[in-house]
Copies of this chain bind each other. A is one copy, B any other.
Amino acid sequence: MTNEALSPDLEAVVARATAAAPLLAATTATQRAHALVAAADALEAAKADLVEIAARETGLTEARLTGEVTRTAVQLRLFADTIVDGGYLDARIDHADPGFALGARPDIRRTHIPVGPVINFSASNFPFAFSVMGGDSAAILAAGCPLIVKAHSSHAELSDATAAVAAEALTAAGLPEGSFQLIHGREAGVAVLKDPRIKAGSFTGSIRVGRLLADIAANRPAPIPFFGELGSVNPVFITAAAIEERATEIASGYLTSVAGSAGQLCTKPGFAFIPEGGELTAAITASATEFPEHRLLDPRIAQSYDERRTAVLNTPGARPVIEGGIRFDEDGQGWATPTIAVIGLDDFRAGRESLLEESFGPLSILVETPAGTDLAALMPEFYEGNLSGTLHLSEAEATGTTDNADALRALIAALANQVGRVLFNGWSTGVAVTPAQQHGGPWPATTNDASTSVGTAAITRFLRPVAFQNAPEALLPEALRTTNPLGIPQHIAPAGESQNWGARWR
| A residues with CB within 8 A of B | 22, 25-26, 30, 33-34, 36-37, 40-41, 67, 70-71, 74, 76-78, 80-81, 84, 87, 90, 92-94, 100-102, 105-106, 108-110, 113, 115-116, 214-215, 218-219, 222-225, 384-385, 393, 398-401, 408-409, 412-413, 416-417, 419-426, 432-438, 440, 442-444, 447-452, 455, 457, 460-461, 463-472, 474-475, 477, 491, 493, 498, 501-506
Contacts and interface: CB of A to CB of B under 8 A. Distances in A.
A67 B102 contact: yes
A140 B224 CA distance: 23
A465 B493 contact: no
A498 B74 contact: yes
A440 B421 contact: no
A424 B106 CA distance: 10
B421 A466 contact: yes
A452 B468 contact: no
Contacts of A92: 435-436, 457
A384 B433 CA distance: 36
Contacts of A506: 37, 41
Contacts of A26: 413
Q: Which 4 pairs of residues, A with B, have the shortest CB-CB distance?
A: A77-B502, A400-B474, A438-B467, A218-B218
B472 A433 contact: no
Given A25-B417, A41-B506, 12 more contacts: A26-B413, A37-B506, A74-B498, A106-B426, A110-B437, A110-B438, A113-B416, A116-B417, A399-B474, A422-B471, A423-B468, A424-B475
B465 A419 contact: no
B398 A475 contact: yes
A81 to B, nearest CB: 5
Contacts of A115: 449
Contacts of A384: 222
Contacts of A41: 506
A117 to B, nearest CB: 12
Contact of A448 (B81, B225, B421, B455): B225
Given A33-B502, A436-B94, A448-B225, A466 B399 contact: no
Contacts of A455: 110
A55 to B, nearest CB: 20
Contact of A447 (B223, B419, B464): B223
A454 B172 CA distance: 43
A398 B474 contact: yes
A491 B33 CA distance: 22
Contacts of A101: 70, 74
27 contacts: A25-B417, A26-B413, A74-B102, A92-B435, A92-B436, A93-B436, A100-B432, A102-B433, A108-B432, A108-B434, A110-B455, A218-B218, A222-B443, A222-B444, A223-B443, A398-B474, A400-B472, A412-B475, A420-B465, A421-B468, A421-B469, A423-B470, A424-B470, A424-B475, A438-B466, A450-B463, A450-B465
Contacts of A409: 475
Contacts of A469: 421-424, 426
Contacts of A423: 468-470
A464 B436 contact: no
Contact of A219 (B215, B436, B444): B215
A78 B498 contact: yes
A77 to B, nearest CB: 3
A100 to B, nearest CB: 7
Contacts of A438: 110, 465-467
A449 B435 contact: no
Contact of A465 (B80, B408, B440, B471): B440
A236 to B, nearest CB: 13
Contact of A416 (B422, B440, B466): B466
A493 B398 contact: no
